Amino acid sequence: MMNTPLVLHGLIDRAEKYFPKKKIISRTHSKIHRLTYKEVAERTRRLASSLETLGVKRGDRVGTLAWNHHRHLEAYFAIPCMGAVLHTINIRLSPQDLIYVINHAEDQVLLIDEDILPLIEAIKDQLTTVKKFVVMSDETSLPASTIESLYSYEQLIAAGDPDFSYPDDIGENDPLGMCYTSATTGKPKGVVYTHRGIVLHSMALGLADTTGISESDVCMPVVPMFHVNAWGTPFAATWFGTTQVLPGPAFTPKLLAELIQNEKVTITAGVPTIWLGLLKELEAGSYDMSSLRGILCGGSAAPKGMIRAFEEKHKIPFYHAYGMTETTPLALYSRLKSYQSDLTGEERLEVLAKQGIVVPGLDVKIVNENGEVDWDGETMGELLIRGPWIASEYYRDDRTSDSFKDGWLYTGDIATIDEEGNVKLVDRTKDVIKSGGEWISSVDLENVLMAHEAVFEAAVVAVPHPKWQERPVACVVLKEKYKDNVTKEELLDYLRPQFAKWWLPDDIVFLDEIPKTSVGKFLKMALRDQLRQHLSV
């Protein structure tokens, strides 16, 4: 067989050649843009040529601080196709972490959305490697700014060469991009993606047994393009000539519902908090969601109650997937097998709420102190993954040896695996509750609590206990209309028949809000501190 390199420019070349008329629908601060792949491909070449003029060389890191829109998509291709490295930066990181990741990656140029500019102005003097800043805006005139060396994105596009040729000697193992984990503890850790890894991952997103993204889809990533590359969907969708809807800055559940309805979105992807918000909106207003063939949910466990509401009430198929920054991210995908099609009700939901089976191309195993665990759906151990789109190290970081051993990525997630091979995440190693030497899954308790009609969100965390070492306490946010008429005893009575006695939370604390990480996950560390103060333990 030929050994042709798996490199990124083949993806956008294909979109331009075979799907020039297909559209990218992109919302920015001022309007909704409708561009064709032909236009986006040309603008991408112009951007690459202008970045070269700005001094970007092979291997240089170029950072982006931007929402989901067409300019960010152009940067996704221009930077790697010219041989530089796309560093998508999480705009919700703290200023200290922003400084850390930009300096650690040694970014040379930053592409920044206009509304994010103040964030960078505040820290610019501490950025040691950045030489040039580009503001992404609908305007060609530059905004007033304290940043020197500021360029207008649209001026760069206008000045760029539409016939720019990407170098043809980029190797498939060359770096394409990098992301840092949002690191709920310690400093963020960098992961470098190769061209080969991204191309193979894009192919995996097109498989019928995973997300099956195809030309006929209208794909709307709600997951930010700064969170594990919007789970790789912009790369795959471009390759397949899929219509893309990029929802832009500061979107609301109402705006998402309108975009789905008006643009006839068929597949959309995001974390559970996004879908909880959409669910609320669908209950309040009336929208036509009939174009949707699936909602893709990952990043943290999808509560069973939410899956039920989408599937049964709104007739929208709901797909639960699992991944990490280190896994590009698609690794597990939940789907009923063909011979399970007669499963209904709770049994069906039970399977769908698991994180699923490993996608083709990767291997997983679950190990504890006794070795690999049995496929009994009960024995807990740490989830290990390996494969061609799994990182093999952290970028210049001595924490590499904690997570990468014997050719496997140690995910830090505790899981079980059932007789069908479905993996179910029980907890992260740092969140699991150890009561009297046994483990209690916070995720299981949260799932059941969130299935209660009065509960909007629930997070269960460990609090120290003199006898049992740790005990679970549930933090519950009630839906507005139930705020004054549900008691903790009622919720405990509801949990009692569903769990062993020693799994029941020692207390239920009602909160107005659960603290979340920059990517919308429960921030359990903050919650534990809050509770310790509240309970004086």
Q: What residue ranges bind ligand ADP (CB under 6 A)?
A: 181-184, 228, 298-301, 320-325, 355, 411, 413, 425, 428, 519, 521
Q: Is the dihedral of CA 150, 154, 159, 165 positive or negative?
A: positive
Least CB distance from residue 277 to ligand ADP, whole Å? 18
439, 468, 470, 479: which one is catalytic?
439
Taking the least distance from each CB to ligand ADP, the nearer of 56 and 415 is 415
- Dihedral through CA 342, CA 310, CA 244, CA 33, nearest 10? 160
CB of 524 to ligand ADP, least distance (A): 11
Nearer to ligand ADP by C-beta: 257 or 415? 415
CB of 136 to ligand ADP, least distance (A): 24
User: Nearer Cβ to ligand ADP, position 88 or 300?
Assistant: 300
Beta-sheet strands, E only, within 139-234? 150-152, 175-180, 190-194, 218-221
CB closer to ligand ADP out of 298 and 505: 298
The two structure tokens encoding residue 531: 């509770």
Helical residues (DSSP H) of 353-474, grouped into ranges: 400-403, 442-450
Q: Which two tokens stand for residue 169?
A: 């000697």
Helices then strands, each counted (H, E), the chain: 17, 27
Residue 423 beta carbon to ligand ADP: minimum distance, rounded to whole angstroms: 10
Between 241 and 277, whose beta carbon lies closer to ligand ADP? 277
Report, in Å, the least distance between residue 411 CB and ligand ADP: 5
Is 434 in the active site?
yes
Nearest CB to ligand ADP, comparing residues 362 and 425: 425
The phi, psi pair for 120, rounded to 5°, reads -80, -35
Q: Which is nearer to ligand ADP, 20 or 412 (CB)?
A: 412
CA geometry: angle at 526 spanning 525 and 527, to 5°?
Answer: 90
In the complex, least distance from residue 356 CB atom to ligand ADP, rounded to whole angstroms: 8
- SS3 for 109? strand
**Residues of 83-96 as b/e, b for ≥16 C-beta within 10 angstroms?**
bbbbbbbbbbbeee
Specify whether the CB–CB gap between 445 and 474 falls below 8 A. Answer: yes
3-state secondary structure of 363: strand
Please identify which of the residues 154, 172, 263, 326 carries the catalytic annotation: 326
Whether residue 121 lies in the annotated active site = no
Structure tokens that stand for 267 in this block:
């597949």
Given the residues 57, 315, 434, 483, select the one marked as catalytic: 434
The answer to whether the beta carbons of residues 170 and 194 sit under 8 Å apart is no
DSSP conformational letter for 227 = S
Q: Which amino acid is at 239?
A: W
Q: What is the rounded CA–CA span in Å between residue 195 and residue 257?
A: 34
Three-state SS at 293: coil
DSSP tag of 5: -
Distance (Å, whole) CA 234 – CA 73: 7
Which residue in 181, 243, 327, 416 is the catalytic one? 181
Q: How far is the CB of 367 from ligand ADP (least distance, A)?
A: 16
The whole-angstrom separation of Cα 98 and Cα 120 is 9
Instruction: For the CB of residue 311, give the shortest distance to ligand ADP in the complex, in Å.
Output: 16
Task: Decide whether 63 or 299 has the Cβ nearer to ligand ADP.
Answer: 299
Supply φ then ψ for residue 95, to 5 degrees. Answer: -55, -40
| Beta-carbon contacts of residue 326 (< 8 Å; ≥ 6 apart) | 181, 191, 390, 391, 403, 409, 411
Catalytic residue flag (residue 408):
no
Distant-in-sequence, close-in-space partners of 369: CB < 8 Å, separation ≥ 6? none
Active site residues: 181, 326, 434, 439
